[in-house]
Amino acid sequence: MKFTLTIAALAAVGAAAPMPMPTPPGIPSASSAKTKLAALTVKASDSGSGYKRDLFKTWDTIEGTCNTREFVLKRDGSGVVVNSACQATSGSWTSPYDGATWTAASDVDIDHMVPLKNAWISGASSWSSSRREAFANDITRPQLWAVTDNVNQAKSDRSPDSWKPPLTSFYCTYARSWVEVKSYYGLSITSTEKTALTSMLNTC
């Protein structure tokens, strides 16, 4: 059956608001991030010797039956419905890295803004197991993000000098978040990492 949209209906469609981007807590202002970046220790990365992902325990129980992954899916999604085990059965998630929207939790990864291996080679190798666990499950800083799974896999353990989000409009938030996490945990950065972060913060 053929139908025609009225001008008013077309306007309403065009005015539909895009899905909101998730905003984890603790993201500093650009000026604060620049100050924190300047204070970070700049040195070559450690070798990575001895790194194993299971040295960073995930996922902790956060509240009720919800573990860290499930908590972030609820926090960063829209209209998320969970079952008694806190598994998301419906909802939608907009990935800030690429702007894609997903309606199946299986298409969404929880990314560590500062990857676990990057933390290891920039200071975490000397941490206690409890501090590494706290880092891997940190929901009070901008460390955990619900993102498109294959984009997260493309990022892997790379720092901003070798990987940036597909959405250039997210560079500012990405750099502010990265700097905040590294600053809070006292992690070092490389000179090329600092150059990349400075460039990204200049887009703010």
Give domain limits for the chain. Answer: 27-201
Task: Round to the nearest angstrom and report the end-to-end CA distance of the chain.
Answer: 49
Strands 78-82 and 108-112: unpaired
Mean pLDDT by 10 residues, the chain (204 residues): 34 43 91 98 95 97 96 96 97 97 97 98 98 98 98 98 98 98 98 98 98
- Give the DSSP H/E element, type plus range, for residue 183: helix 171-185
Phi first, then psi: what are they for 146, rounded to 5°?
-85, 115
**Cross-strand partners of 101:** 94
Task: Please report the pLDDT score of residue 23 as a whole number.
Answer: 84
Q: Are 55 and 129 in contact (CB under 8 A)?
A: yes
Taking the C-alpha atoms of residue 83 and residue 89, their distance in angstroms, rounded to an integer, is: 7
Write the DSSP string, 146-176. EEEHHHHHHHTT--TTT---S-GGGHHHHHH
pLDDT value of residue 19: 59
Q: How confident is the model at residue 22, as a pLDDT?
A: 77
Per-residue pLDDT, 97 = 97
Contact criterion met (CB below 8 Å) for 96 and 147? yes
